[in-house]
Amino acid sequence: MSKSTDESKDIFTECKKNAEKFFNEVDKSTPIYHQTATNIQQSFMEAWKNVINSSIALQQEFASKSGLNVNMNEETMKAIQNITDQAITAYKNQNKFTIDSAETSKKIFDAFNENTKTLASLNKNMIELMLSAIKQKTQN
């Protein structure tokens, strides 16, 4: 029997090969998901801007045609500016929280990966120790 035929029947080789095949496919799809999420966000923002601008235009046209006084006092103008500033601050805080959460998650995954390597090394050492004890017992 050839070596390649023996390897193809080895469960660990087959599992590694199929795990690699799976993660290669996941790697290919990641940029597509990223672009899709970006496109959805851009579409949402454009739709939101259109709704707000259309609403303002409609109200402006109604006020103009009905002869309403649209002048506002300084306090009303400051209140509108204050609401906008607070909305911007909330948006910036949300973005900072999201970025900080993503960075924290990355650190957690990095620590998990490092701990997995350490645990695998520890397990390997334990197996080698057990095998050497078994070999010594069978030799006696």
The chain-wide mean pLDDT, for the chain, equals: 92
Q: Quote the tokens at residue 81.
A: 């500016």
Question: What is the rounded CA–CA span in Å between residue 21 and residue 118?
Answer: 25
pLDDT in tens, 10-48: 999 999 999 999 999 999 999 999 999 999 999 999 999
76-90 pLDDT, tens per residue? Answer: 999 999 999 999 999
Distance in angstroms (rounded) separating the CA atoms of residues 97 and 45: 20
- How many residues are there in the chain? 140
What is the token pair recorded at 50?
């259109």
Q: What sections of 9-73 are H helices per DSSP?
A: 11-66
User: Does residue 6 carry a pLDDT above 60?
Assistant: no
Q: Which tens digit of pLDDT belongs to each residue from 114-134?
A: 999 999 999 999 999 999 988
Phi, psi values for residue 23, rounded to 5°: -70, -30
Task: Quote the DSSP letter at residue 53.
Answer: H
